[in-house]
Amino acid sequence: MPKRILRVNMTNLEAKFEDLPGDYAALGGRGMTSTIVSIEVPPTCHPLGIHNKLVFAPGIVTGTKAPTSGRLSVGGKSPLTGGIKEANVGTNFAQMLGRMRIGAMIIEGKHEGDDYFLLKVTNDGAEFIDANKWVGKGLYDTYKALFKEFGDKVGICGVGIAAELLGAMSGVCFNDPEGLPSRYAGRGGLGAVMASKGLKFIIVDETDAPGVEIANQDVFNGGIKKLREALTAHDVTKPQGGLNSFGTAVLVNIINEAQGLPQRNFSRGQDDRCEKISGEVKAEEIKKRGGVRPHFCSPGCIIQCSEVWTKPGGKDPVGVLEYESVWALGANCEIYNLDDIGELNRACNDLGCDTIEAGNTLAVSMEGGLAKFGDGKGALKLMNEIYKKTPTGRMLAQGTEITGKVLGVTRIPTVKGQALPAYDPRAIKGIGVTYATTPMGADHTAGYAIAPEIMGVGGKVDPRDPKKAEVSRNLQLATAALDATGYCLFVAFAILDIPEGLEGIVESLNGVLGANLTVDDVAVIGKQIIDIELDFNKRAGFTAIDDRLPEFFMEEKLPPSDEVFDVTDDELDSVF
């Protein structure tokens, strides 16, 4: 069976398989989503209108035995940025699509009326099922009900109440290995795009799937062996290494020490209270409570940086508390209590919200007087407004920029409408260049300059040096290529330092595709993807003025370093 596209038309409720076009044969992940969006979506269309499309694409090796490779790209025109978007997630749903040889699933059209549908996808076809009984309900109870109805072997993708409000902070939610709604293609408001079509859930049943076709098994096996050796040798990715032992929140203490962990809506870069919400303290607490740590977000991951956070006594599991979530819902709101952060994270998962956007939205709400900084219960009350679909809840669901503007706040940390992640660009300037210049809106994963600037991975550069165009550009090109493969971004720690690891990735791709790629092709592939995305944004009306950070980063000194973002406009413009 050749690779195929599942095209889903929500206007007339038709779903049919098509052959994958020949010139798409070597595409996967972000390469696939950005190519399809660029060709099929008019750049000036309304993101929630009939002409936008939502594209799901597993990476090239997703669904194989390649280690740490269960990644899926979700793409479309973003309601948050107005530009092209790719949101990335690790989930068994992605692996199922790969094994079913679905190279892309394209959701198009728009159902007229108020009904919502569930799309059930099998190896032989797809059917639409009425989903109205789940409207207005939280995703924790709903995912339990869906597994009961469709069996515990399926993969679930869905959107929550925030998406029903067409909120730009809504993500696309996938189940974790325990069935919890905690794995998110979170950024850019793509959940609202899915809901705007009338689509509430996608259930994938991979029974009788043929598996990923591998053109040269020996080349593939040799490649994944090299990669596995690199991942199990590197200090960041190895068993009992930093990520495996403490999860992504191992960065809380590291970035706080570097004076770049934003506190109180980006008004300081350091606070001693951050120790209370660090990865080390969290790991200890998970052990005491009987949660799970380490843990994988999708089967076959050997880094296992995930976890299951619970209430005391192992009750009411939430899922993973990522570094970004702990920071956004914690330090950025001056909340230094893991139980409060856990409940805010639960609310985000249940409502279908991106935690980065939600935490920033709460922080500007506090700055605007809707709650007090440090008030965890007050923050939960604000999230409850989204559950109730009140006018305040509708405002909050639209994210940081709209909420800040409505409340008259001047310190609004967004680029292209998307809220900044957990690194202050005044103290760590390369990541600021990435925020400003990536086609995706403020996004740390688009070119993770933290690796060389703070962790000394892939070389060491001074985080305060404003000459960072080259560092950011190289990382953005490499990341775009990696996002196409299906490998997790975290393999980058190992392959930046261990050349054989990168060789292994390229060989594994050659094994699947029957190609003759070399390490030198990685940047070329990355550039092809980013050129497509830049072109889309240009046609949507973006200019160099959109590749800028908010004014306060240039004007307000960040205590305690007293740094400002002093990267010149010329430096930013030289990235692309």
Q: Which amino acid, one-letter code, is at 454?
A: I
Query: How many other β-carbons are positioned within 10 Å of the β-carbon of residue 381?
Result: 13
Domain 4-204 has CATH 3.40.50.150: no
Query: How many other β-carbons are positioned within 10 Å of the β-carbon of residue 390?
Result: 12
Residues 247 and 236: their CA atoms lie apart, in Å, by 10
Residue among 184, 228, 221 nearest 491 (CA): 228
Residues 389 and 417: their CA atoms lie apart, in Å, by 22
Does the pLDDT at position 522 exceed 90? Answer: yes
pLDDT tens string 247-301: 999 999 999 999 999 999 999 999 999 999 999 999 999 999 999 999 999 899 9
Tokens 């003025």 locate to: 545
The tokens for 288 are: 């005491």
Give residue 574's Cα distance to chain centre: 26
297 in Cβ contact with 320 (< 8 Å): yes
pLDDT tens string 558-569: 999 999 999 999
pLDDT tens string 197-222: 999 999 999 999 999 999 999 999 99
3-state secondary structure of 9: strand
- Sign for the pseudo-dihedral over CA of 92, 241, 269, 264: positive
Band of pLDDT at residue 1, cut at 50, 70 and 90: confident
Mean pLDDT over residues 328-336, rounded?
98
| Angle at the Cα of 139 from the Cα atoms of 102 and 361, rounded to 5 degrees | 100
Give residue 440's Cα distance to chain centre: 11
Does the pLDDT at position 102 exceed 90? Answer: yes
Residue among 186, 192, 253 nearest 443 (CA): 186
374 in Cβ contact with 407 (< 8 Å): no
Residues 151 and 157: their CA atoms lie apart, in Å, by 14
Mean pLDDT over residues 168-189, rounded?
97
Band of pLDDT at residue 88, cut at 50, 70 and 90: very high
Structural domain spans, the chain:
4-204
pLDDT tens string 462-496: 999 999 999 999 999 999 999 999 999 999 999 99
